[in-house]
Amino acid sequence: MEVATLSRIGLAGLAVMGQNLALNIAEKGFPISVYNRTTSKVDDTVHRADAEGGLPLLGHRSPQDFILSIQRPRSVVILVKAGRPVDQTIATLSAFMEPGDCLIDGGNEWYENTERRIEEASARGLLYLGMGVSGGEEGARNGPSLMPGGSFDAYQNIRDILEKVAAQVSDGPCVTYIGPGGSGNFVKMVHNGIEYGDMQLISEAYDVLKHVGGLSNQELVEIFEGWNRGELESFLIEITSDIFRVKDEFGEGELVDKILDKTGMKGTGKWTVQQAAELSVAAPTIAASLDCRYLSGLKEEREAASKAFSEFGLSEVLARPAVDKKKLIEDVRQALYASKICSYAQGMNLLRAKSVEKGWGLNLGELARIWKGGCIIRAVFLDRIKKAYERNRELPNLMVDPEFAREMVQRQAAWRRVVGLAIEAGISTPGMNASLAYFDSYRRARLPANLVQAQRDLFGAHTYERIDRPGSYHTEWTKLARQNKAGVSALN
């Protein structure tokens, strides 16, 4: 095969994400070879490439032909289901690869699997990248946010491709070299955890506006459209306004009201919360969003509970408080904004803690920059998050950046009003509650942890420190309490 006829890159795995990313690469002028174990998907992709303008995409039915059709050093993107299918695909393809060639896993993989595969690939002379891809089907086709981590040489080999394929924002393409090891997958995992929190907070804003404010879906369209023209401008706010527009094709009203209230998940949110616990990083907003997905899955139990409590006179929504709709809408907007800042702060703190543990050297400002376009959590305030970390690379928490601190203070009264109204109405807002509790705990110089530490010392002799002198101390609390009690009794 003549060098001129070889593809610049290959992609294996032609489900929705793989097919769209392959077409994106081809559309940007990079000849690409594609392969899938189910050959009908290869044919579908080739037909799409022809239909969308004769894009330079070549389909292959055998793994050997696929690999041999790519320029050396070969770079092959894998987009298959995480776990064993990735290992099986690597085994199939690497049999025909040579030292210096590179594998790029673009799935939502557990970062330690990527680190294992880096070592296994290295033993065979191959390079390896674990690359987070965010943006869903539309992002993959038109410009995703890309988070490659692993071999820097492998990244350099395809940097020009990734920079053209990624979403484009004012300060560059939404891709950067994340760092060594499994850092790319870890960053994508935390991105998804922030996404969980974001979606939960938006759903709570909707719940309060609908059940406390009594707003219709048409009113919600206008509210979310308005919010998307201000500080809340983001992909998730934009699509939420679209959702409220869609009519039910099978009956009256809007489709959103006919959707079963059970939320699915694929595991990255759970991994994020587990890692937060492992690293002793508080992430209550993200954890609350995960708990809500678990609770949503208990549909039959919740229906039975609603019936059981109603027999004792407790309705699902308590008496609706009298509210000024215009004031409520503004309060909810401010509460949502402040809560979102807490969610992003928690995610950034988790990334920093893991970076320190693993020595990855993550640049939090740069991560905020590449999330400004293409990805699900893209939002206008990510530019301000980027600037906050540029002002102070060692910023301990996003909330204490002077700009964000001022805004949190300005919005906290509205935030408290919304949470209070929700509690009064019996509407659960666990994400907003968790964010507010996080804010209130973090801003206090002294917490009631002194009592908890005293309890631990009493029943487990765990010792404690004092605020007025150095060292660790242990007190015979029960003995002294009894002596003091006896002394008081004697005086009486």
Determine if residue 438 is labeled as part of a ligand binding site: no
Is 256 annotated to bind ligand? no
Q: Rounded to 10 degrees, what is the CA torsion of 295, 299, 304, 305?
A: 20
- Length of the chain equals 492
CB 398 within 8 A of CB 168: no
- Strand-pairing partners, residue 58, are 33
Angle at 206 between CA 203 and CA 212, to 5 degrees: 130
The H or E element that residue 133 is part of is: strand 127-134
C-alpha–C-alpha distance, residues 27 and 29, integer Å: 5
308 known member of a binding site = no
Is 46 annotated among the ligand-binding residues? no
Element counts in the chain: helices (H) and strands (E): 20, 11
Q: Is 16 marked as a binding-site residue?
A: yes
The CB density around residue 357, as the number of other CB atoms within 10 Å, is: 10
Residue 229, both tokens: 């023209």
15 annotated ligand binder = yes
Separation CA 305–CA 315 (nearest Å):
11
Q: Which residues contact 103 (CB under 8 A, 6 or more apart)?
A: 76, 78, 90, 93, 94, 97, 117, 121, 126, 127, 128, 129
How far the first Cα of the chain sits from its last, in Å, is: 103
Task: Please choose, from the candidates 238, 178, 449, 202, the residue with its C-alpha nearest in 3D space to the C-alpha of residue 343.
Answer: 202
Partners of residue 104 on adjacent β-strands? 77, 129
- For residue 456, say whether it is annotated as part of any ligand binding site: yes
CA distance 422 to 432: 10
Q: Which residues are catalytic?
A: 188, 195
**Is 213 part of any known ligand binding site?**
no
User: According to the annotation, is 196 in a ligand binding site?
Assistant: yes
Annotated binding-site residue? 135: yes
Has 293 been labeled as part of a binding site? yes
Judge whether 36 is annotated as a binding position. Answer: yes
Known binder of ligand: residue 18? yes
Whether 266 has a binding-site annotation, put simply, is: yes
- Known binding residues for NADP(+): 13-18, 36-38, 80-82, 108
- Known binding residues for substrate: 108, 134-136, 191-192, 196, 266, 293, 456, 462
- Known binding residues: 13-18, 36-38, 80-82, 108, 134-136, 191-192, 196, 266, 293, 456, 462
